[in-house]
């Protein structure tokens, strides 16, 4: 293995899902729903296969999906993207993030990311030979946020880009307009590219609305906006994502993408286009459902003795394990199957400086109510 990838090993999601299977534990670790996406959308994938849409689609993605993505961005956010040249379909948001970093960063460039961050960010930055500059999100009144001075201090002469994930995995924070304005000001002043990971764009609670960074003044022209179908439509196994941005950026990302995968699977693209066009009521119902599940799991975990950070979005809840007498989340999550028959994710693996997050553990609530209830019952044994 090349030196720049040493230390990445096996992802925590693979480790913890394997542990759940091996021990027969309830898996509140890796974030995937235990119910399916909208029936008509699933049917669209099946009919696409039956109708012979089984050969290579065009490199940038099937026109139906690029058009649907552009219409969705316009309808929800008032953002105009030309489906020919400003929208690119990728193999999930993960490929979009990797291809974007590889396309934009020279070795030695710096990329700012808020820690804890989704694990692929550090790996994609390392692959490109760039250097990740973490800015830590810390709980203030229970909600994770950043210190604007720390953000500014992270930007230097080699800073090329900032990765912004909102709604944020794993903390559940949805950046406010004020927070986004801090980020936008820095991007404009330092001429940075913003790479936004908005895969949880529709999963927000309590009336909190997701604001894309690209909608702020001067930001559309410097933002590569990324999302995917997996979370919005409960089809995480479809690995269908998209990039929107100015033509120069999208061309650059496509140049890299064509040699990673050339194109993405056709049937899922057609089905995702159906989803964006016809299933947003289904998504609203999902969002309401998840809000209730959020309340169910946060109440249960609090009763079991965890300190709970109530998420504003995503389907994850961040907990502090110290009130239960534990200090090391990695050690606890490795023991949790034998202690309680439950699997969770140690948040420390999402930090450049793991000691800053060693006392946090993440639980997923995109699960049936009875699964959440049984997990809570088991976790109550810990106290």
Chain positions contacting ligand GLN, by CB under 6 A: 11, 13, 30-31, 169
Which 191-230 positions form the footprint of ligand PMP (CB under 6 A)?
197, 199, 228, 230
The entry of ligand PMP, ligand GLN, none near residue 271 (CB within 5 to 8 angstroms by kind) is none
User: Please, which residue, 30 or 204, has the CB nearer to ligand GLN?
Assistant: 30
Question: Which segment (37-45, 92-100, 278-286, 317-325) binds ligand PMP by CB under 6 A?
Answer: 92-100
> Binding residues for ligand PMP, how many (CB under 6 A)?
13
User: Please, which residue, 86 or 312, has the CB nearer to ligand GLN?
Assistant: 312
SS (HEC) of the chain: CCHHHCCCCCCHHHHHHHHHHHHCCEECCCCCCCCCCCHHHHHHHHHHHHCCCCCCCCCCCCHHHHHHHHHHHHHHHCCCCCCCCCEEEECHHHHHHHHHHHHHCCCCCEEEEEECCCCHHHHHHHHHCCEEEEEECEEECCEEECCHHHHHHHCCCCEEEEEEECCCCCCCCCCCHHHHHHHHHHHHHHCCEEEEECCCCCCECCCCCCCCHHHCCCCHHHEEEEEEHHHHCCCHHHCCEEEECCHHHHHHHHHHHHHHCCCCCHHHHHHHHHHHHHCHHHHHHHHHHHHHHHHHHHHHHHHCCCEEECCCECCEEEEECHHHCCCCHHHHHHHHHHHHCEECEEHHHHCCCHHHHCCEEEEECCCCHHHHHHHHHHHHHHC
In the complex, what is the shortest distance from the CB of residue 217 to ligand PMP, in angstroms, rounded to a whole number? 25
In the complex, what is the shortest distance from the CB of residue 361 to ligand GLN, in angstroms, rounded to a whole number? 13
The entry of ligand GLN, ligand PMP, none near residue 342 (CB within 5 to 8 angstroms by kind) is none
User: Please, which residue, 236 or 254, has the CB nearer to ligand PMP?
Assistant: 236
User: Please, which residue, 66 or 239, has the CB nearer to ligand PMP?
Assistant: 239
The entry of ligand PMP, ligand GLN, none near residue 13 (CB within 5 to 8 angstroms by kind) is ligand GLN
The entry of ligand GLN, ligand PMP, none near residue 241 (CB within 5 to 8 angstroms by kind) is ligand PMP
User: Please, which residue, 11 or 136, has the CB nearer to ligand GLN?
Assistant: 11
User: Please, which residue, 274 or 341, has the CB nearer to ligand PMP?
Assistant: 274
Question: Is 239 one of the binding residues for ligand PMP (CB under 6 A)?
Answer: yes
In the complex, what is the shortest distance from the CB of residue 333 to ligand GLN, in angstroms, rounded to a whole number? 13
The only residue of 33, 60, 83, 92 in contact with ligand PMP, by rule CB under 6 A: 92
Cβ distance 190 to 155 under 8 Å? yes
CA dihedral (268, 274, 280, 283) positive or negative? negative
Binding string, residues 141-170; x marks residues near ligand PMP by CB under 6 A: ------------------------x---x-
Binding site residues, ligand PMP, CB under 6 A = 92-94, 118, 165, 169, 197, 199, 228, 230, 236, 239, 241
């Amino acid at each position: 293995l090349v030196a720049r990838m040493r230390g990445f090993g096996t992802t925590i999601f693979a480790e913890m899902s394997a542990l759940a299977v091996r021990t027969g534990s309830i898996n509140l670790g890796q974030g995937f729903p235990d119910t399916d996406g909208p029936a008509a959308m699933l049917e669209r994938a099946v009919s696409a296969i039956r109708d012979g849409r089984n050969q290579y689609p065009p490199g940038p993605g099937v026109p139906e999906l690029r058009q649907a993505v552009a219409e969705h961005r316009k309808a929800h956010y008032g953002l105009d993207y030309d489906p020919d040249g400003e929208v690119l379909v990728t193999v999930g948001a993960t490929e979009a993030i990797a291809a974007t970093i590889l396309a934009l960063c020279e070795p030695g460039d710096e990329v700012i990311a808020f820690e804890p961050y989704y694990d692929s960010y550090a790996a994609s930055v390392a692959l490109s030979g760039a250097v990740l500059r973490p800015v830590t999100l810390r709980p203030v009144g229970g909600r994770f946020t950043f210190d604007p001075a720390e953000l500014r201090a992270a930007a230097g002469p080699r800073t090329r880009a900032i990765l912004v994930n909102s709604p944020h995995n794993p903390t559940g924070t949805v950046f406010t307009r004020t927070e986004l304005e801090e980020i936008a000001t820095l991007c404009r002043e330092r001429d940075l590219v913003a790479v936004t990971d908005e895969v949880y764009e529709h999963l927000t609670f309590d009336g909190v609305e997701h604001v894309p960074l690209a909608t702020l003044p001067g930001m559309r022209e410097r933002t590569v906006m990324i999302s995917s179908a997996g979370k919005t439509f409960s089809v995480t196994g479809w690995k269908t994502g998209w990039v929107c941005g100015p033509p120069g950026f999208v061309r650059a990302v496509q140049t890299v993408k064509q040699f990673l995968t050339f194109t993405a699977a056709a049937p899922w693209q057609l089905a995702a286009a159906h989803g964006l066009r016809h299933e947003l009521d289904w998504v609203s119902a999902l969002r309401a459902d998840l809000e209730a599940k959020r309340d169910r799991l946060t109440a249960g975990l609090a009763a079991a003795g965890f300190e709970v950070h109530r998420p504003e979005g995503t389907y994850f809840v961040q907990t502090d394990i110290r009130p239960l007498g534990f200090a090391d989340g990695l050690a606890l999550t490795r023991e949790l199957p034998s202690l309680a028959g439950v699997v969770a994710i140690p948040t420390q693996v999402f930090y450049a400086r793991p000691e800053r997050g060693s006392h946090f553990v993440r639980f997923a609530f995109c699960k049936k109510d009875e699964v959440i209830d049984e997990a809570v019952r088991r976790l109550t044994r810990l106290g």
